């Protein structure tokens, strides 16, 4: 079963507003380069990736352990991860998780959609992490993509944009989609392909949805997708934002909504790109406002460095707030890019070698989502 929480279908609450999630992570592609199965007739230059096996459980883990929305608590989590694994998750304990073949993605999708559509005040949450192809639409590749035994090479391919459009027929009025796809296929190859896929669901022009928000990672190389055996950069940004970086103070509650999340993910990705010197961007497509989550406290993605490489190399930078001290010595990587508590921080930029004039420590107000400084040498 791909249902990791609650323990059974019968335990799922459908007569109250709930968030129902479908999380898919595909790291194992048997028919792509380096896979264990028969190679696809054209693997499109795609090979195995490691990050989804860490990313999908991290997203599911956040939903199970940290998601907080009193108006719409967690209702269910479907999780598929390739390769299939034994995973330990908050609330769910240790349990086997099935692999993300097209058939299983489709079956999970059908169950998820059926739950989501039970009420208009439900939230539908979809996260995909794995290979993708993007032409005039975004396509997602399940584990068995490229199986040479399948005469239609696009049979095991999911038409995400078609799916998002089709979800207009689902009653859930807040729909969240995260497309964390590694898009390695070169433009020249893509342009010659007539890609098609299964949208999994259809809608008509009379169907509507109040809030449909899609957040796309737009990285085009595996290097920019995520650190080997770690969580993708996009997922790192999403989780930071959900944890309070995208929080807005609304009567003392730190609310993350579809608008604030879109703006914050883009800013965090920009700072991650600066830190890791990678082409990381995000393409949010948000239509309509919906509340997602209430964070425990405001957090800030701080990026602190000097304004020139020479000064960065020579500087010792110290950020401090009460007992918390973050330090980067001369020669260490700058800018400091770190998620921290919001509030007043002291930032001290020193040049022990005397290469630049000393700067007195300055107080800065760090407010979500991102602080970028400092404007010294």
| Binders of other proteins in range 237-256 (CB under 8 A) | 248-252
Distances (CA, A) of 132 to 63, 112, 195, 362: 24, 21, 11, 45
The helix (run of H) or strand (run of E) holding residue 258 is helix 258-276
What CA–CA distance (Å, rounded) separates 320 from 175? 39
Residue 67, sorted as left (phi over 0), alpha (psi -120 to 50) or beta, turns out to be beta
> Could you give the string, one character per residue 83-122, with x where binding to other proteins holds by CB under 8 A and - elsewhere?
----------------------------------------
**Region from 83-91, 101-109, 145-153, 218-226 binding other proteins, contact rule CB under 8 A:** 218-226
Two structure tokens written together for 237:
């940004």
**Region from 27-35, 55-63, 105-113, 267-275 binding other proteins, contact rule CB under 8 A:** 267-275
Minimum CB distance to other proteins smaller for 36 or for 365: 365
Closest to 297 in 3D by CA, of 347, 231, 362, 366: 366
What CA–CA distance (Å, rounded) separates 268 from 295? 17
Q: Is 298 in the site for other proteins (CB under 8 A)?
A: yes
Q: Is 223 in the site for other proteins (CB under 8 A)?
A: yes
| Binders of other proteins in range 127-166 (CB under 8 A) | 134-138, 161-162, 165
Q: Is 365 in the site for other proteins (CB under 8 A)?
A: yes
Among 113, 117, 260, 328, binds other proteins (CB under 8 A): 260
Among 48, 284, 330, 359, binds other proteins (CB under 8 A): 284
**Region from 78-86, 87-95, 273-281, 325-333 binding other proteins, contact rule CB under 8 A:** 273-281
SS (H, E, C) 56-90: HHHHHHHHHHCCCCCCCCEEEEEEEEECCEEEEEC
**Region from 63-71, 107-115, 147-155, 286-294 binding other proteins, contact rule CB under 8 A:** 286-294
Q: How far is the CB of 169 from other proteins (least distance, A)?
A: 10
Beta carbons of 216 and 225 less than 8 angstroms apart: no
Q: How far is the CB of 67 from other proteins (least distance, A)?
A: 21
Q: How far is the CB of 93 from other proteins (least distance, A)?
A: 36
What are the phi and psi torsion angles at 274 (to 5°)? -65, -45
| Binders of other proteins in range 2-61 (CB under 8 A) | 45
Q: Is 283 in the site for other proteins (CB under 8 A)?
A: yes
**Region from 2-10, 103-111, 117-125, 215-223 binding other proteins, contact rule CB under 8 A:** 215-223
Minimum CB distance to other proteins smaller for 49 or for 282: 282
Sheet of 336-341, strands arranged across:
336-341, 299-304, 370-373
Two structure tokens written together for 260:
């604030």
Q: Which residues contact 200 (CB under 8 A, 6 or more apart)?
A: 105, 106, 109, 110, 113, 158, 159, 162, 163, 166
Among 129, 200, 224, 336, binds other proteins (CB under 8 A): 224
Among 216, 225, 233, 345, binds other proteins (CB under 8 A): 216
Sheet of 324-328, strands arranged across:
324-328, 316-321, 343-350, 362-366
Q: Is 295 in the site for other proteins (CB under 8 A)?
A: no
What CA–CA distance (Å, rounded) separates 138 from 199? 11
Count of residues of this chain found to bind other proteins when the rule CB under 8 A is applied: 74
Minimum CB distance to other proteins smaller for 114 or for 365: 365
> Could you give the string, one character per residue 170-209, with x where binding to other proteins holds by CB under 8 A and - elsewhere?
----------------xxxxxxx---------xxxxxxx-
């Amino acid at each position: 079963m791909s249902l990791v929480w609650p323990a059974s279908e019968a335990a799922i609450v459908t007569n109250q507003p709930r968030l129902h999630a479908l999380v898919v992570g595909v790291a194992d592609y048997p028919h792509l380069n380096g896979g264990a199965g028969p190679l696809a007739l054209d693997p499109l230059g795609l090979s195995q990736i490691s990050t989804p096996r860490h990313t999908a459980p991290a997203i599911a883990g956040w939903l199970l352990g940290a998601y907080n929305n009193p108006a719409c608590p967690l209702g269910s989590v479907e999780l598929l991860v390739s390769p299939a694994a034994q995973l330990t998750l908050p609330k769910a304990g240790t349990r086997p998780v099935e692999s993300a073949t097209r058939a299983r993605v489709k079956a999970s999708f059908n169950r998820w959609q059926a739950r989501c559509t039970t009420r208009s005040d439900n939230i539908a949450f979809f996260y995909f992490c794995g290979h993708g192809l993007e032409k005039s639409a975004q396509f997602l590749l399940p584990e068995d993509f490229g199986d040479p035994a399948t005469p239609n090479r696009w049979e095991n391919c999911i038409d995400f944009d078609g799916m998002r459009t089709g979800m207009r027929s689902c009653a859930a009025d807040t729909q969240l989609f995260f497309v964390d796809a590694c898009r390695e296929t070169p433009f020249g190859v893509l342009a010659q392909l007539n890609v098609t896929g299964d949208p999994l669901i259809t809608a008509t022009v009379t169907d509507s949805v109040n809030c449909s928000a899609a957040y796309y990672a737009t990285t085009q190389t595996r290097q920019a997708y995520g650190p080997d055996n770690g969580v993708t950069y996009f997922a790192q940004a999403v989780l930071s934002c959900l944890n309070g970086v995208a929080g807005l103070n609304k009567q003392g509650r730190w609310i993350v909504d579809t608008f604030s999340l879109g703006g914050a993910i883009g800013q965090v990705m920009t700072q991650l790109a600066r830190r890791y010197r990678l082409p990381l961007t995000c393409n949010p497509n948000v239509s309509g406002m919906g509340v997602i989550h209430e964070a425990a406290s405001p957090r800030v993605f701080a990026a602190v460095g000097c304004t020139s490489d020479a000064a960065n190399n020579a500087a010792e930078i110290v950020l401090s707030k009460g007992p918390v001290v973050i330090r980067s010595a001369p020669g260490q990587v700058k800018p400091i890019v770190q998620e921290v508590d919001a509030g007043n921080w002291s930032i001290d930029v020193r040049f022990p070698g005397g290469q630049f004039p000393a700067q007195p420590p300055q107080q800065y107000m760090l407010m979500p989502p991102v602080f970028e400084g400092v404007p010294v040498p």
